[in-house]
Amino acid sequence: MAEPVQEETVPEETVLEAQGLSKTFAARGGRRGALRAVSDVSFTIGRAETLGLVGESGCGKSTLARLVLRLIEPDAGTVRFAGQAFTGAAPPRTRQMRRQVQMVFQDALSSLNPRMTVGTNIAEPMRLQGIGTERERQEAAQALIALVGLRPEHADRYPHEFSGGQCQRIAIARALILKPSVIVFDEAVSALDVSIRAQILHLILDLQQRFALGYLFISHDLSVVKRIADRIAVMYLGRIVEIGSSEAVYRSPLHPYTQALLSAIPVPDPRRMRVAALGVVEGEAASPLDASDLCPFRGRCPHRMPVCDETPPALLTTEAGHSVACFLHHPPRAAAA
Amino acid sequence: MANVAVAVAEVVLEVADLCTDFAVGRQTIRVVDRVSFSLRRGQTTAIVGESGSGKTVTALSLLQLIEPPGRISGGTIRYRGRDLRPLDETAMQQVRGARIGMVFQDPLSSLNPSLRIGTQIAETLLAHERISSAEAERRAVELLVRVGVPDAAARARDYPHHFSGGMRQRVLIAMAIACNPEIIIADEPTTALDVTVQAKILRLLHDLQQAMGASLLMITHDLGVVAALADEVVVMYAGRVVERADVDRLFHAPLHPYTRALLDCAIGLDDDRSTPLTPIPGAPPDLRRRPAGCQFAPRCPVAIAKCHRLDPPLLPMNPGQDVACFVAQGDADG
């Protein structure tokens, strides 16, 4: 029936595949129980594709990023790059595979080494991986400095001499130097002023087109995620509750939490939304110490049903590429279409 | 619409040509430069700007909370017609809290970690009103109920670290409204909060303001928050007011090129990957080395020669809209 949609929305090649990732931490302060930071999370990212991961404080999005990078080891689940297992790989292999995935953090300045020049900071991943001579590394850094919109003489300066936006450019250059296939951005534009944020988003999108990079773009800000992502995954208390194309998640959000999140965002247009129209969800997020597999949102959900207190909802596909973990939608209401 | 009321509501606070300087080494930096605006009874005015635009220092200056090496160096701050600037610290303490309530971004650092929440609210009341401690404690609990803290009587005995970020912000709001102030100044009160919590706090601030008939001065960088709350908007850039307009005009007929650029950078929920990004090139000026003329001229797409030489004055262009831009005021390059 359908003709192939635009090329960019149909990734032909999966560069990153996460399957059933879970991570539990021991609860602090002598409290019994365990904190389930990430529970059974699966997703894929295609070549030149951006998966936006959105959720509020404590939803597990940064833990998920650390699992993807193997900065911490999962309790269960696998991460694969281009079909090859990253989790469980032997140390020499792990080291080599680390080149495949790089990260850009929110606080760019503190992610850079203050005692190294910008050029050396950018080249550092090559040195750590034992790639090239010092001269080759500096040349590679110099090429990236131009690419991210800095000036050649910036290579010899130190990170503290740069503004937040410029530090983020430096961090992006460093993330690119090993020619990764995937970059994880963890709140990478959240601390920037809007005029600077637009510059950095522009750069991020431009680099993606140039190098066909796969992006995992993590943010608490759904409007930024929507602006940059092909697909969006919504996380709540360690679980993906909804995932689909940006368009679908925004136009027809299925999970009550996604709906709550969307309605709470103040729209920058006074004709469309004033304060009284802001959506309000009652209650606060449940504790991640709650070990139940039941829907994590049920305590605040306006549509709570008896089944929500009895059976864990599975993340099921309702239509092409749009999945939700909510009994309102599964089994899919066949008559609705 | 609220716009009708803007024209008639009386002015409660009038700020004119406010200047605040900071001494850095041997240099004096002007962080707030001839800022003028007014707050009207029962209305919300938003000051919007990016980091370093001077919006927070403006708010602190109104309360005379500027400490050395900072100094208010000029202008007037008229509250009900009386200039607050000549007042000494004792007199200002009676204004702060009683007449003007304050809510800041970081509630944890605004609260005393070793005092019970109820006691802290009661202290605010005791500082301004002749009541017994028992009465103050009782009213503290009432205030917690009013700002939506569940189980208020029990929570009043808790310490700040027992509260979530959103609940702490409610506590600060309770302290800000404790003495029924006529003006509430809120500096980025929701910036550190999650979006679902932010929505609740914005609703609460708005509802309280309406119920009290107070004026709200909202300091924010978030144009969504401005659109949701403000009746009137003051746009600041590099310490100066570049545009002042009622909220509908500001969003739908902005006159200053910076306001337009800022709106273009704001991300609407209709935007997606296909929407072109329109970043503002460059960065705001270093206040130690201000350029001559309009501070936005070096980044401005429509600047003319004059903009790089002379400061454009803030002039009324339409009813309810003032702008400081030669081009918007009709000058052409000659």
Instruction: Verify that B160 and B85 share a domain, yes or no.
Output: no
Residue contact A227–B271, C-beta within 8 A = yes
Instruction: For residue B279, list chain A residues with Cβ-Cβ distance below 8 A.
Output: 195-196, 198-199, 201-202
Instruction: Verify that B249 and B207 share a domain, yes or no.
Output: yes
Give the domain range for residue B310.
2-99+181-323
| Better-predicted residue by pLDDT, A182 or B165 | A182
Residue ending a domain, among B153, B180, B207, is: B180
Specify if B132 maps to a domain: yes
Among the partner-chain residues A228, A267, A280, the one whose CB lies closest to the CB of B273 is A228
CATH number of A13-229: 3.40.50.300
Q: Which residue has the tokens 């007929």?
A: B253
Specify if B191 maps to a domain: yes
Specify if B332 maps to a domain: no
Residue contact B196–A56, C-beta within 8 A = yes
Digit-coded pLDDT (tens) for A67-95: 999 999 999 999 999 999 999 999 999 99
Tell me if the bond preceding B254 is cis, omega within 30° of 0: no
Instruction: Verify that B48 and B137 share a domain, yes or no.
Output: no
Residue ending a domain, among B151, B180, B209, is: B180
Is the pLDDT at A311 greater than 80? The verdict is yes
Among the partner-chain residues A202, A223, A263, the one whose CB lies closest to the CB of B279 is A202
Instruction: For residue A260, list chain B residues with Cβ-Cβ distance below 8 A.
Output: 196
Residue contact B199–A279, C-beta within 8 A = yes
Share of chain A above pLDDT 70, in %: 93
Residue contact A264–B195, C-beta within 8 A = yes
Residue contact B248–A270, C-beta within 8 A = yes
User: Mean pLDDT score of chain B, rounded to an integer?
Assistant: 93
Is the pLDDT at B104 greater than 90? The verdict is no
Min distance A163 CA to chain B CA atoms (Å): 9
Instruction: Verify that B128 and B203 share a domain, yes or no.
Output: no
Instruction: Verify that B16 and B68 share a domain, yes or no.
Output: yes
Give the pLDDT of residue B333: 59
Number of structural domains (chain B) is: 2
Instruction: For residue B51, list chain A residues with Cβ-Cβ distance below 8 A.
Output: 193
| Model confidence band, residue B31 (pLDDT cutoffs 50, 70, 90) | very high
Mean pLDDT of the B166-176 span: 94
* The residue count for chain A: 337
Specify if B199 maps to a domain: yes
Give the pLDDT of residue A291: 67
Residue contact B224–A267, C-beta within 8 A = yes
Min distance A264 CA to chain B CA atoms (Å): 5
Instruction: Verify that B254 and B108 share a domain, yes or no.
Output: no
Note the Cα A222 to chain centre separation in Å.
12
Instruction: Verify that B139 and B271 share a domain, yes or no.
Output: no
Residue ending a domain, among B180, B202, B219, is: B180
Give the pLDDT of residue B2: 46
The residue in chain B having the minimum alpha-carbon distance to the alpha carbon of residue A220 is: B194
Residue contact A274–B227, C-beta within 8 A = yes
Structure pTM?
Answer: 0.91
Digit-coded pLDDT (tens) for A41-51: 999 999 999 99
Give the pLDDT of residue B275: 84
Instruction: Verify that B187 and B311 share a domain, yes or no.
Output: yes
Min distance B304 CA to chain A CA atoms (Å): 22
| Model confidence band, residue A207 (pLDDT cutoffs 50, 70, 90) | very high
Q: How far is residue B32's CA from residue B49's CA, in Å, rounded to a whole number?
A: 12
| Model confidence band, residue A6 (pLDDT cutoffs 50, 70, 90) | very low
Min distance B204 CA to chain A CA atoms (Å): 10
Residue contact B266–A230, C-beta within 8 A = no
Residue contact A230–B273, C-beta within 8 A = yes
How many interface pairs between A and B have CB atoms less than 8 angstroms apart? 144
Q: How far is residue A258's CA from residue A241's CA, in Å, rounded to a whole number?
A: 8
| Model confidence band, residue A290 (pLDDT cutoffs 50, 70, 90) | low
Mean pLDDT of the A292-306 span: 92
| Better-predicted residue by pLDDT, B4 or A148 | A148
Number of helices followed by number of strands (H, E) in chain B: 12, 12
Digit-coded pLDDT (tens) for A254-286: 999 999 999 999 999 999 989 999 988 887 777
Instruction: Verify that B186 and B163 share a domain, yes or no.
Output: no
In a mutational test of the B interface, the residue from A51, A193, A236 whose CB has the highest number of chain B CBs within 10 Å is A193
Min distance A251 CA to chain B CA atoms (Å): 9
The residue in chain B having the minimum alpha-carbon distance to the alpha carbon of residue A6 is: B274
Instruction: For residue B249, list chain A residues with Cβ-Cβ distance below 8 A.
Output: none
Min distance A275 CA to chain B CA atoms (Å): 5
**Domain residues of chain A, as ranges?**
13-229, 252-337
Is the pLDDT at A332 greater than 50? The verdict is no
CATH of the domain at B232: 3.40.50.300
Give the pLDDT of residue B5: 47
Instruction: Verify that B138 and B6 share a domain, yes or no.
Output: no
Q: Which of A177-186, A192-201, B67-76, B290-299 has the lowest mean pLDDT?
A: A192-201
Instruction: Verify that B93 and B123 share a domain, yes or no.
Output: no
Instruction: Verify that B187 and B84 share a domain, yes or no.
Output: yes
